[in-house]
Amino acid sequence: MTNITVTVEETANSADETRIIAMLNEFNVSKGVTYNPVALSVFIRNDDGEVVAGLVGSTLWEWLRISILAVDGNTRTKGYGSMLMQAAEKEAVKRGCKYAWVDTFSFQAQAFYEKMAMSSSARSPTTRPATSDCSCAKHLAESAENHIPSANFGRGSLSQSHRSNTGKAYET
């Protein structure tokens, strides 16, 4: 074997990330499985086009994986988190997903995800006092059909337009 160098990098370049994914996919394909996550992002914008809330995730193998969900502090308690989740779930079901999964901390959004009918399944302590890391998951089959985003959340009327990862807008 030739000499190797191990590096720790705060930010990997996209070519290196692409190479790692290709290596993993090459192995997976040899086992009959393809790793090909499809990005899924949902945004809520104000009248000026600024993002005030967003969800970033992906779909793969019947799973919606939520990486990030955030709502600007000035717009919390308006139902935006629920709208993001519902739009993502609806799109995930269109893509053939049956389940949703997210990792969060108890001080962040565990209660929110539980309100969204997700079950907290695993908890591990963190070094931060009174905080735990938890995984939340749910079965989408019954929820996406019955919980489509509403144009009225009891706080006035909201016009909603959502875009899939293909850029196609759809109204809910």
Q: What is the pLDDT along the chain (172 residues), one digit of tens a residue?
A: 689 999 999 998 999 999 998 898 899 999 998 888 899 999 999 999 999 999 999 999 999 998 888 899 888 888 898 899 899 999 999 999 999 888 776 667 666 666 766 666 555 555 555 556 677 778 887 544 444 333 222 222 223 333 333 343 333 3
Residue 26 lies in a domain: no
Q: Is the pTM of this model over 0.85?
A: no
Q: Exposed (0-12), middle (13-18) or buried (19+): which is 171, by Cβ within 10 Å?
A: exposed
Asked whether residue 1 is domain-assigned, the answer is: no
The count of structural domains within the chain is: 1
* Dihedral sign computed on CA atoms, order 39, 120, 94, 144: negative
CATH of the domain at 91: 3.40.630.30
In whole angstroms, what is the distance from residue 100 CA to residue 89 CA? 8
For 89, the domain range is 37-171
